[in-house]
C-alpha cells in the first residue's frame, strides 16, 4: 500500500516554511513517545495526521515540493512521523531521494529510529546538507548520542534549566520555550545546525504532557 504524506506552509511556532508530515505507520517502536504523549497524537495535529491517511499525497509529490523550493530555503522534515523503513533500519532509497531533492536547500528534521543501526546513514545525511536530529528519551542517552557527533535533542521536564551542563555536555532548551520573545523555528534555526556544540532540550508540552516520562538532571 502506498504511504500518504501531507504538506503545510508552517504555523505560528515554526514560521513560514514547508513542513512535511509522514504517515503514522512510519513511527518506529523505538520512539518512547509513541502512544505515550506524542504531541502529534493530540489535538489539533492529530486531526490532520488522521485525515492524510485518506487524502494525502505520495512521496514523489513531497520530493517535487522540496526540489521547487527557492535555493537556501529552510524546511522541516517530519513535523509528524518518521522515515520509511522496517522500524529498525531507515530506508536507504528514501534517504537518497531526499538528499537529491534537498541540494541547495536546508532541510532539517528528527528521527526516533535506533541510532546505532543507522549510524552511517545519519552521518551521511548530516554531512550532506540535511540535518537530522536524533531524538533521545533520556539525558544519559542524549549525552551518548551527542558524543557520537550527531545533532541531538531530548525531552525534558517543564522546569528544566534554560542552559545547563550535564556530564560535560551542554543542554540548551528550545528558545521558543525559554525566552520571552519566543522566536519561531525560522528565526532560531538551532535545530538546522548539524555541527552545534550542545544538545537541544524540548520541555514537555501538549495536552497529554502529564503522561510523558521525562528525564531529569
Looking at residue 208, its pLDDT comes to 45
Question: Residue 12: inside a domain, yes or no?
Answer: yes
- The answer as to whether 108 is a domain residue is yes
Helix extents (H) in 3-91: 45-55, 59-67
Q: Is residue 1 part of a domain?
A: no
β-bridge pairing 163-166 and 169-173: antiparallel
Residue 16 lies in a domain: yes
What Cα–Cα distance (Å) separates residue 68 from each residue in 21, 72, 125, 214? 18, 11, 20, 39
Q: What's the pLDDT score for residue 206?
A: 58
Three-state DSSP class for residue 126 = helix
60 belongs to a structural domain = yes
Range of the domain at 16: 6-211
Distance (Å, rounded) from C-alpha 211 to C-alpha 92? 34
Cα 32 from chain centroid (whole Å)? 14
Does 216 reside within a domain?
no
- pLDDT one digit per residue (tens) for the chain, 217 residues: 689 999 999 999 999 999 999 999 999 999 887 877 787 677 677 777 788 888 899 999 999 999 999 999 999 999 999 999 999 999 999 999 999 999 999 999 999 999 999 999 999 999 999 999 999 999 999 999 999 999 999 999 999 999 999 999 999 999 999 999 999 999 999 999 999 999 999 998 654 455 556 554 4
Beta-strand runs (E) in 100-198: 106-111, 130-136, 152-156, 163-166, 169-173
What is the residue whose three cell numbers read 528534521?
A: 109
The verdict on residue 217 lying in a domain is: no
Q: Does a structural domain hold residue 169?
A: yes
Give residue 50's pLDDT. 82
Output phi, psi for 76, to 5 deg.
-115, 125
The pLDDT value recorded for residue 36 is 77
Number of structural domains in the chain: 1
Amino acid at each position: 500500500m502506498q504511504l500518504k504524506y501531507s504538506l503545510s506552509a508552517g504555523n505560528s511556532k515554526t514560521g513560514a516554511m514547508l513542513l512535511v508530515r509522514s504517515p503514522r505507520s512510519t513511527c518506529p517502536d523505538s520512539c518512547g513517545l509513541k502512544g505515550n504523549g506524542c504531541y502529534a497524537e493530540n489535538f489539533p495535529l492529530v486531526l490532520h495526521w488522521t485525515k492524510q491517511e485518506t487524502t494525502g499525497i505520495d512521496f514523489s509529490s513531497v520530493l517535487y515540493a522540496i526540489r521547487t523550493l527557492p535555493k537556501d530555503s529552510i524546511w522541516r522534515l517530519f513535523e509528524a512521523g518518521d522515515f520509511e523503513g522496517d522500524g529498525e533500519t531507515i530506508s536507504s532509497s528514501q534517504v537518497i531521494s531526499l538528499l537529491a531533492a534537498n541540494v541547495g536547500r536546508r532541510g532539517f528534521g528528527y528521527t526516533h529510529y535506533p541510532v546505532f543501526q543507522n549510524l552511517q546513514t545519519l552521518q551521511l545525511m548530516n554531512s550532506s546538507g540535511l540535518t537530522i536530529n536524533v531524538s533521545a528519551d533520556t539525558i544519559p542517552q542524549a549525552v551518548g548520542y551527542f558524543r557520537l557527533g550527531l545533532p541531538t535533542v531530548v525531552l525534558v521536564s517543564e522546569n528544566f534549566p534554560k542552559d545547563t551542563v550535564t556530564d560535560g555536555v551542554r543542554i540548551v532548551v528550545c528558545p521558543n520555550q525559554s525566552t520571552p520573545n519566543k522566536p519561531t523555528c525560522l528565526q532560531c534555526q538551532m535545530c538546522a545546525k548539524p555541527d552545534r556544540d550542545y544538545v537541544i532540550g524540548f520541555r514537555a508540552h501538549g495536552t497529554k504532557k502529564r503522561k510523558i516520562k521525562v528525564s531529569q538532571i
